[in-house]
Amino acid sequence: MKNPNIAKMLKYYRKCNRLSVAEVSEKLEAISPISVAVKTI
């Protein structure tokens, strides 16, 4: 990703809410048309 802070915030959000990488990916796809690679999360 061009902005490393996005990846850091995704990781922080995932850990705080005790979500799996797949769950975060699904939630992001539902909210936004922008796809996020699972590697980023």
Q: What is the pLDDT of residues 1-41, one digit of tens each?
A: 577 887 788 888 888 989 888 888 888 888 877 777 777 76
What is the model's pLDDT at position 1?
54
Distance in angstroms (rounded) separating the CA atoms of residues 27 and 2:
21
User: Using DSSP, how many helices (H) and how many strands (E) does the chain show?
Assistant: 2, 0
